[in-house]
């Protein structure tokens, strides 16, 4: 089993409100980039539902140099309607879904720390500071501590 110590949050870099799915991202990654599968382990749709991507037991293809010990999570959106300008487009449902997923992952992989893709790249992805926003999850060790 892989030793997971990072949860890396991404955006799909699609326009605000543009509804895409796992199959679309998988098509981009497999047919346009030549990868074996979608690069992310989880994708969060506009309605906040969490969908499986790449098998969690297999290293992702989402963050150069960080894939072996991480889980990649992508929310749909991340760009203004102009298709270029980075923007935190998460719906309230996506924010809730992402928080719940990260809490579940932290419970399963207690050494995991939340990062944004931008922590390892010059990109703005995921268009918000995931490291800071989810620091409370990263700092939680599950030892008779209550999340606030």
114 within a domain of the structure (yes/no): yes
CA–CA separation, 82 vs 13, rounded Å?
11
The catalytic position among 6, 10, 29, 115 is 10
The catalytic position among 62, 117, 134, 140 is 117
Active site residue 110: no
Active site residue 117: yes
DSSP state of 86: B
pTM greater than 0.85 (yes/no)? yes
pLDDT (tens, 9 = 90+) of the chain, 148 residues, equals: 689 999 999 999 999 999 999 999 999 999 999 999 999 999 999 999 999 999 999 999 999 999 999 999 999 999 999 999 999 999 999 999 999 999 999 999 999 999 999 999 999 999 999 999 999 999 986 544 444 4
CATH number at residue 130: 3.40.80.10
Query: How many domains does the chain divide into?
Result: 1
144 within a domain of the structure (yes/no): no
CA–CA separation, 65 vs 63, rounded Å?
6
76 within a domain of the structure (yes/no): yes
**What's the distance, Cα to Cα, between the start and end of the chain in Å?**
31
Domain membership of residue 69 as a residue range: 6-138
The catalytic position among 87, 95, 123, 136 is 123
β-strands 6-11, 50-52 pairing: unpaired
13 within a domain of the structure (yes/no): yes
CA–CA separation, 22 vs 45, rounded Å?
9
The catalytic position among 42, 109, 125, 140 is 125
The catalytic position among 6, 29, 40, 42 is 40
State the pLDDT at residue 142: 55
82 within a domain of the structure (yes/no): yes
Active site residue 40: yes
> Contact at 8 Å (CB) between 128 and 99?
no
1 within a domain of the structure (yes/no): no
Q: What are phi and psi of 78, to 5 degrees?
A: 110, 0
145 within a domain of the structure (yes/no): no
54 within a domain of the structure (yes/no): yes
CA–CA separation, 26 vs 39, rounded Å?
8
Among 119, 120, 115, CA closest to 137 = 115
């Amino acid at each position: 089993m892989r030793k997971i110590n990072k949860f890396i949050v991404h955006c799909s870099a699609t326009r605000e409100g543009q509804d895409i799915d796992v199959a679309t991202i998988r098509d981009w990654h497999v047919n346009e980039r030549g990868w074996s599968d979608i690069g992310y382990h989880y994708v969060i749709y506009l309605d906040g539902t969490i969908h499986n991507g790449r098998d969690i037991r297999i290293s992702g293809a989402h963050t150069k140099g960080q894939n072996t010990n991480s889980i990649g999570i992508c929310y749909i959106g991340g760009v203004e309607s102009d298709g270029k300008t980075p923007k935190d487009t998460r719906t309230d449902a996506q924010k809730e879904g992402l928080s719940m997923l990260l809490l579940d992952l932290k419970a399963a992989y207690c050494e995991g720390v939340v990062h944004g893709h931008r922590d390892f790249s010059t990109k703005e992805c995921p268009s918000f500071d995931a490291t800071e926003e989810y620091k409370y999850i990263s700092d939680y060790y599950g030892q008779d501590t209550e999340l606030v």
